[in-house]
Structure 1
Amino acid sequence: MIPLRPLSLGDIITGSFATIRGHWKTLAGVALAVQAVVLPVMALVVGIAVVSVRSHFAPVFHPPFGEDPAPEHVVPLVVAAVVVFALLMAVGVLGMAVIAALCPAVLKEAVTGRPTTFRALWRASVRRAPAVAGAMFLSGLIAASPVFAVLAVWLPLVFSAGHGESSLALLGILPLLMLAAAPAAVWLGIRFGLAPAVVVMEGAGPVTALRRSTALVRGEWWRIFGYTVVSVMLAGAISYATQIPFNLVGSFAMMPALNGLPEHGALSAGAVASLVLALVLLFLGGAAGQVFQIGFSHLASAMLYVDQRIRREGLAEAILTDLAAAPAPPAPTGPAPAATGPQRPEGDGQS
């Protein structure tokens, strides 16, 4: 699927498509399995939080006329919101990390042409998902550090300025400061962008993966940046185009449920069936879009990792050497088959 030579942009795009085409069942199956686990867990987290602080909703959102909500009601809601946000982020990052770990694992087998199974790739992606999540979290945190630095300087200035023209001027300066921080954030993001592939391909830890990504990107930042931008834009376009049919059919399927919604009472059986069908279609569309949006981007990133190792570390020669040194299949055992047909006698004088 992937030529063992320095890769061009066309090779990376066609190789990513070829990998998806050859392993689409595995990619789609893992994406559906991740959503089937992540979505119920998220719903459970939100449900537990709502039940825990349900008694504080009315005093905060509907306080007596002319009174402010009491702190004993506001604080539990704020704490619950922070905890839910952190848990949802952790669950979402872990789910995304499983898919991010699957793509290099698939590519690792595609580079050498070795067949694999869904179970083996699923186990490999789940096993490396925590390390991939750690690498993604650290790289995102470091890439966002210029933005955090801007906010760390800007927020105290705004609070100290209070109300007035100076405060409005500081609000107008914030977009300019963010624009100034954006190039540094992009530079750091590309610098550490190969870390998830390093985690899966080399079995490295998050910190080691960040260092390896830095070493592989050094001197090739602009080329990797250009290839990454094209890959992300292409993945977004394909993801959007993939979801359009599912969203259209799901919207049409939801219309009978909306039209049959009574003012009082339960939905009819037909309306419930239409609503379930619409939700299933939207779920499938989201899963298909996720395969391309996340899968294609991480496959392209893993292809860039392979390309950099081919260019700098002789990966192609190492792979060919390993394949050439692979043991030959064992010869069949047992008695030799009997010869068929007339045998030519020795020394018949013919050559």
Structure 2
Amino acid sequence: MTYGADGHPPPQAQYPAYPPQGYPPPGYPQPGYYPPPGYYPQPGYGYYPPPAPQALKPGIVSLRPLTMSDIFNGAVSYVRLNPKAALGLTAIVVIIAQAIALLIQIGPITSLGSLDPETVNATGGLGVSDPAFIGLMLSSMAGAATTTIAAIVLSGLLTVVVGRSVFGAKITAGEAWHRARGRLLPLLGFTALEVLAVTVLVGIAAGLTALMYYVAGIGAAVAVGLLLLLGVAALTIWGVTLLIFAPVAIVLERAGLVDAVTRSLALVRKDFWRVLGIWLLGTLVASVIAGTVSVPFSLVGQLMLMAGASTTGTVVASVLISIGGAIGQIITAPFTAGVVVLLYTDRRIRAEAFDLVLQSGATNRTADSGEAIDQLWLTPPQP
């Protein structure tokens, strides 16, 4: 062994001590140690970022860009939040409209008298005079108009209910009516313009088809007619989709007819296919549900019409079919209206950062005041 100058052996080399096997390295929390709240290990030691903050959800949807499931769930949730306003108003409007339409249709039927085989003329046709037939056609048109007007009124009322439900606010049927009644005239005007536009398209297609029949015969007329029919259908879907938010803007933004059309075009134009897809899917779901509910009533009504041609049987069958249609509308109309309004909300959030406005209103306890909520929808678009 080598000794130093002082006669003592040199000091032993110092090496770092290793912890016993199975223990974590120095600086890492020891077994039995629990870190304080909010502590996260440093990178390299199993670091996990803190969870992202949840979006504010004061009502039926989170105040952030919405997914399709958010929209569909919200379209159901607002009915649970405001059942009296949503289902109550729907039932009142639908029942009144169906009753009026049914009375309008039954009048000409009863005026025709019995439709038993004794009234069948020698040629095999029903002994129905031309005035009675015209009255029957006019009554059908009047019934359709009544149903359309009722649908417009109902859409305005339900739009108000959904607008309040976004913040979790309650609303009564009377409040919804007070809020929407001043916007019914612009809604009717917008619908009249839509019907006029579709009528013009159909008239042009029918005229061109007739012209082709006289020029080139029946074969060419059928081919051209089918092409024009497809074109009219495509143009109708395209136009309806572009203007789908105009009624919502009329009610929630208190916009005029021209401004509402402009707003809808601006919101839909950059996300046309998504709006179309979600709207069509929601409409398909509602149609399937309504059809399923009304099938028993329609089936019995059709069987009664096929079994006998008496006036009484015809009236009873019409009543049954109307009842089935009314039940289907009461169930599905709130869902359809909710999908459209929440799609509009999503588009404003994505295009105008409108979620910041909604979050500010919810944070400031705007949900405590229905009038303050209504004012939020009037906020100008963000730059």
Q: Does TM-score exceed 0.5, indicating one fold?
A: yes
Is residue 103 from structure 1 mapped to residue 158 from structure 2 by the alignment? yes
Q: Which moved more, 1:6-15 or 1:169-178?
A: 169-178
Change (3 A) 1:235 1:44: closer
Aligned residue in 1 for 2:82: 23
Select the structure of larger CA radius of gyration.
Answer: 2
Unpaired segments ≥5 residues, structure 1: 268-274, 330-351
Work out the CA distance in 2 between the residues paired with 1:82 and 1:208.
37
2:95 aligned partner, one-letter code: A
Change (3 A) 1:298 1:166: same
Is residue 39 from structure 1 mapped to residue 98 from structure 2 by the alignment? yes
SS of 1:136's equivalent in the other structure is helix
Percent identity for Structure 1 against Structure 2: 23
SS of 1:199's equivalent in the other structure is helix
Is residue 237 from structure 1 mapped to residue 288 from structure 2 by the alignment? yes
Moved over 6 A (4+): 61-65
Work out the CA distance in 1 between the residues paired with 2:180 and 2:367.
29
Compute the displacement of 1:102 (Å). Answer: 2.3
Is residue 287 from structure 1 mapped to residue 322 from structure 2 by the alignment? no
Aligned residue in 1 for 2:186: 131
1:4 aligned partner, one-letter code: L
TM-score by length of 1: 0.69
Aligned residue in 1 for 2:233: 182
Compute the displacement of 1:103 (Å). Answer: 2.2
Is residue 2 from structure 1 mapped to residue 41 from structure 2 by the alignment? no
Taking the TM superposition and a 5 Å limit, the aligned residue runs for 1:221-236 are 221-236=272-287
Compute the displacement of 1:35 (Å). Answer: 3.1
| RMSD, aligned CA | 4.1
Aligned residue in 1 for 2:349: 310
1:315 aligned partner, one-letter code: F
SS of 2:61's equivalent in the other structure is coil
Q: Could you give the per-residue CA deviations for residues 120-155 of structure 1, whole angstroms, max 9, x where no partner exists?
A: 124444553443233233234435654443223222
Is residue 94 from structure 1 mapped to residue 139 from structure 2 by the alignment? no
Change (3 A) 1:87 1:169: same
SS of 1:6's equivalent in the other structure is coil
Work out the CA distance in 2 between the residues paired with 1:89 and 1:12.
30
Change (3 A) 1:84 1:241: closer
Change (3 A) 1:181 1:93: closer
Change (3 A) 1:26 1:237: same
Q: Could you give the per-residue CA deviations for residues 96-128 of structure 1, whole angstroms, max 9, x where no partner exists?
A: 112211221111001122211122124444553
Change (3 A) 1:222 1:27: same
Compute the displacement of 1:285 (Å). Answer: 4.7
2:339 aligned partner, one-letter code: A
Structure number having the greater helix percentage = 1
SS of 2:206's equivalent in the other structure is helix
Aligned residue in 2 for 1:346: none
Work out the CA distance in 2 between the residues paired with 1:142 and 1:212.
19
Q: Could you give the per-residue CA deviations for residues 41-99 of structure 1, whole angstroms, max 9, x where no partner exists?
A: 22443455568x869x9xxx97897xxx9xxx64x457545643443232111111122
SS of 1:203's equivalent in the other structure is coil
Aligned residue in 1 for 2:254: 203
Q: Contact (CA 8 Å) 1:239, 1:290: kept in 2 or not? A: yes
Taking the TM superposition and a 5 Å limit, the aligned residue runs for 1:209-220 are 209-220=260-271
Work out the CA distance in 1 between the residues paired with 2:104 and 2:366.
52
1:104 aligned partner, one-letter code: T
SS of 2:150's equivalent in the other structure is helix
Work out the CA distance in 2 between the residues paired with 1:49 and 1:133.
28
Q: Which moved more, 1:32-41 or 1:283-292?
A: 283-292
Q: Could you give the per-residue CA deviations for residues 292-329 of structure 1, whole angstroms, max 9, x where no partner exists?
A: 43322221111111111112223222223334445899
Work out the CA distance in 1 between the residues paired with 2:105 and 2:164.
39
Q: Which moved more, 1:136-145 or 1:113-122?
A: 136-145
Work out the CA distance in 1 between the residues paired with 2:230 and 2:95.
39
Unpaired segments ≥5 residues, structure 2: 1-59, 369-383
Is residue 167 from structure 1 mapped to residue 206 from structure 2 by the alignment? no
Q: Could you give the per-residue CA deviations for residues 275-295 of structure 1, whole angstroms, max 9, x where no partner exists?
A: 89xx68x76653332134332
1:196 aligned partner, one-letter code: P
Change (3 A) 1:319 1:327: closer
Q: Contact (CA 8 Å) 2:268, 2:275: kept in 1 or not? A: yes
SS of 1:112's equivalent in the other structure is coil
Q: Could you give the per-residue CA deviations for residues 142-178 of structure 1, whole angstroms, max 9, x where no partner exists?
A: 35654443223222333x35xxx81243124312221
Counting matched residue pairs gives 296
